[in-house]
Amino acid sequence: MSPLFRALLIAASLAFATAAPALAQDLSAEDRATVSARFETLHDKVVGGDMSAAMDMLPPGVIDAMAARYGVTPEQAREAAREVAAQVMSGVEVTEYRVDVDGAEVKRTPDGTRTYLIVPLHMTMRMPGLTAKAYSPTLAFEVDGVWYMMNVEEAEQAAVLREVYPEFRDVGFPKGTMEIVED
C-alpha cells in the first residue's frame, strides 16, 4: 500500500469516526409514524388557532426546569406557558403549517445515548398589515416512550434543554429564518 493511500485511508477513517455520532441513524417505521401523528395533532390545533398546544409537546424535563426556576408546579408552568403563547399569538392567523417528518434529519447525540430528529417546519402567519413566513428546524426526541418536540433556535431554549438533557450539550442546532412579506 502506498504511503499516500495509507495516509488518505487513515484520514478518512478518523473523519468518519469523529462524525459518526451525528450521521443519520435508523428510525423505525413505528417511531416515524408516532412522530408524524404528534406533528399532525399539533398541526390541527395550530391551524385551528390554538398556538398554546405547542406547550403540550415540550419535553417533561424542560417543563420541570421552568417550574423549578419560577417556584411553581410543572402543571402551573405548562399552563403559564400556554397563556403566554395564546397572548403572543392572539391576532395571528396561521395560514400554512407544513412539517416534513419524512425529510427530517435523524441523528444521534455525541455520547450515543439518544436518537433525535431535526424536523423542517414551515409556517406562514398573517397579522394585521403583514405576513411572515418562518422556517424552524424543530427538535424531536423520545422520553419514556413519548416523542416530544421543541424549537431550540433561541439560545435560552437550547440552554434549558442542555441543562436537563445533558446528552445534547455538544449538539449544534440549525437556525431558522423569518421573512416578512408586505400585504
- Tens of pLDDT, residue by residue over 120-141, are 999 999 998 889 999 999 999 9
The reported pLDDT for the residue numbered 56 is: 87
> DSSP secondary structure string, 67-87?
HHHHTS-HHHHHHHHHHHHHH
The reported pLDDT for the residue numbered 183 is: 65
Q: What is the mean pLDDT of residues 92-110?
A: 93
By DSSP bridging, strand 93-99 and strand 115-127 are antiparallel
CA distances from 106 to 53, 58, 141 (A): 24, 19, 10
Nearest alpha-carbon partner for 91 in 58, 123, 51: 51
The reported pLDDT for the residue numbered 31 is: 94
Backbone angles phi, psi at 100, to 5 degrees: -115, 80
Does the pLDDT at position 161 exceed 50? yes
In angstroms, the CA 153 to CA 170 distance is: 15
The reported pLDDT for the residue numbered 103 is: 92
The reported pLDDT for the residue numbered 113 is: 95
In angstroms, the CA 63 to CA 108 distance is: 23
Strand partners, 107: 116
Does the pLDDT at position 15 exceed 70? no
Does the pLDDT at position 49 exceed 70? yes
In angstroms, the CA 123 to CA 134 distance is: 5
* Mean pLDDT, all residues of the chain: 84
Q: Where are the beta strands (DSSP E) in 36-158?
A: 93-99, 105-108, 115-127, 130-143, 146-151
Question: Which pTM does this prediction carry?
Answer: 0.80
CATH number of 23-182: 3.10.450
**Which stretch of DSSP H or E encloses residue 169?**
none
Cβ proximity of 181 and 131 under 8 Å: yes
pLDDT confidence bin for 18, thresholds 50/70/90 = very low
In angstroms, the CA 4 to CA 143 distance is: 47
C-alpha cell belonging to residue 93:
392567523
Q: What is the mean pLDDT of residues 24-28?
A: 72
